[in-house]
Structure 1
Amino acid sequence: MQERGSLAVGGLVVLLLLLPLGYLVHVSPRFPGSLAGSLLGIAGAVLMLAPLLYVVIKRVPVLKAHVTRRVSMRTLLAWHVYAGVLGPILGLLHAAHKFRSPLGVSLTGMMLVVVLTGYVGRYLLARIAAAVQGERSDLAALTAAFDRASSEIEAARDPSPAGARGWLTRLVFAPAESAGSAPAADLGRLVEVADAMANVEAAVRNEEVMRDFFGKWLPLHILVAILLYGLLVLHIWSGIYYGLRWLP
């Protein structure tokens, strides 16, 4: 179920990124002010404001305790994600590829950045964290295998008994006479395990760097969301100020 949700949101994000390219083949300057265009714009604005409910509920303990009796935070997060993607899609359909004013261009850019930063934080960071955890488990297993192989090789190289008898044997006989030699197959396996450990350690370091880099997504997401809401308020005010053509 979670995988299907991730694919669905990913598909909506791809659609959102492709929609602005439509201005190359279609422009309708009068559509945004028409009844249909205004209804799309109002629906898009409502959906873009809906994610604020999740933020408020999450930050207010009393409200969170009251709401989560009926709806889980996981469900609220899903609504937050879908509303946050569908709202900008309706907003772009409302614009009808009319990107002539600085306000419209800025609003479009902020919508895209908000959706992308949200998608990175919700899905890509989770995948990176899961990958790092899995590779750490692999590294622990490889380390245990390396230790076992090292112990086996050490035992093969020094097969003399332990304790006082072993000390006497090592004292009387030369190391070359009392020590065996590790089989070539064991040495080869040890080298393979060490090489695999080095590769996994490098992968873990690289993914941790990516996780730290993308870990700065939340402040950026909050900042662009604030800018988006400010531009959205200006856009709504300008539409009301200059008049709605579909009103009698």
Structure 2
Amino acid sequence: MKQERTIIGSMLLLQIILWLGFLVHRSPAFPGSLAGVIIAILAALLMTIPAFIYSATKHFPSFKEKITKYFSLGKMLSWHVYTSIIGAIFAIIHTGHRFESNLGIWLTVTMMLSVLSGFVGRYFLSYSSTEIKEKQAELNLLATEYNQLLKVVGQPVSESVNIANPPINSLAGTKITESGNNSFLGVRAVQLTESIADLEYAIKTQQLLKRRTLGWLTVHIVSSIAFYVLLILHIWSAIHFGLRFLK
């Protein structure tokens, strides 16, 4: 998952860089050229077919039963993620940075919003969940050690210190006294308290970020639907008004 997140994150960064290319580059003739149209067709196929197959597999049990005999749902989701980001990169190239019509502008906006929200849902939330689980496990270990330490400190000195083999003071290289041992345990208790407080704060922060990004699915669905509607209109307008390379 970590390697996949790095790859997709790099591709998403590439898409954003390509989109920002309109600041230094414009090619009005490229979108309607033969090369531009071929790239547009590839982009549309990559962004629609895997997405529709994954959606149908996820929501229709009969179709899911047939398709999952050959491909797992997780594998299909990975294909959907990869093909969508590659298709989006092709789509940006297809534009030639010719952002002149409202339809083209909104098509690009909804496409990038759909890809970005999908990335957040697929990787950021799963990363947050993993981080919370790991920090919670570490917190449980520290809490257990802290509770055991309190029990030892609360015992009589003769019970809390092994007189036959007392601990070594690593700084002075001598045997520490019983009172010194209690002092050492007290310092360790303070350290554990600080570590526990830091972990609890980190967990609360991760949980807050996770709650605030839970709306990613709604954003992803709405932006994706808007993108597909605009894509159909874009294809229709391209065919209706004619392709430049055919003239």
* C-alpha separation in 1, matches of 2:158 and 2:107: 74
Larger Rg: 1
Seq. identity, %: 34
CA distance in structure 2 between the partners assigned to 1:192 and 1:108 by the alignment: 52
Describe the SS at the equivalent of 1:183: helix
Is 1:74 equivalent to 2:85 in the alignment?
no
Tell me which residue corresponds to 1:226: 225
Q: Which residue of 2 aligns with 1:57?
A: 57
**Aligned Cα RMSD in Å?**
1.6
**Corresponding residue for 1:24?**
23
Which residue pairs with 1:5 in the alignment? 4
**1:120 is the counterpart of 2:120:** yes
Deviations 1:85-137 (A, max 9, x none): 11111111110000011111111111111111011111111111000000000
> 1:247 Cα deviation (Å)?
2.6
Q: CA deviation at 1:230?
A: 1.0
Q: C-alpha deviations, 1:57-105, integer Å up to 9, x for none?
A: 1111111111111111121111100111111111111100000111111
Report the alpha carbon displacement of residue 10 of structure 1 after superposing the two structures with TM. Answer: 1.2
- Report the TM-score, using the length of structure 2 for normalisation: 0.88
Aligned partner of 1:205 in structure 2 is 204
Map of 1:179-218 to 2, 5 A cutoff?
Answer: 183-218=182-217
SS of the residue aligned with 2:228?
helix
CA distance in 2 between partners of 1:3 and 1:188 (Å) = 38
* 3-state SS, counterpart of residue 71 of structure 1: coil
Shift of 1:231: 0.9
Moved more, 150-159 or 41-50: 150-159
One-letter code aligned to 2:3: R
How far, CA to CA, are the matches of 2:14 and 2:106 in structure 1?
19
Displacement of 1:157 in angstroms is: 6.1
- CA 1:93–1:143 in 2, change beyond 3 Å: closer, same or farther? same
Q: Deviations over 1:216-242 (max 9, x none)?
A: 111111011111111111111111111
- 1:15 corresponds to 2:14: yes
Give 2:105's aligned residue: 105
Query: Structure 1 length as normaliser, TM-score?
Result: 0.87
Residue 187 of structure 1: how far off its partner (Å) = 1.1
CA deviation after TM superposition for structure 1 residue 245, in Å: 2.2
Paired residue total: 227
Task: Give, as a single letter, the amino acid of the residue that structure 1 aligns with 2:151.
Answer: S
CA–CA distance in 1 between the matches of 2:234 and 2:99? Answer: 13
* Cα distance in 1, alignment partners of residues 158 and 2 from structure 2: 53
CA apart distance, 1:13 = 0.4
Q: Aligned partners of 1:184 and 1:14: how far apart in 2?
A: 53
Structure 2 vs 1, CA of residues 156 and 190 (structure 1 numbering), >3 Å: closer, same or farther? farther
Rounded Cα–Cα distance in structure 1 between residues aligned with 2:189 and 2:25: 64
Which residues of 2 match residues 86-97 of structure 1 at below 5 A?
86-97=86-97
Q: Partner letter of residue 67 of structure 1?
A: I
Alignment partners' CA distance in 1, 2:129 and 2:156 = 41
**Unaligned stretches of 5+ in structure 1?**
160-179
State how far apart, in whole Å, the 2-side matches of 1:185 and 1:3 are: 40
Q: Which runs of 5+ in 2 are unaligned?
A: 160-177
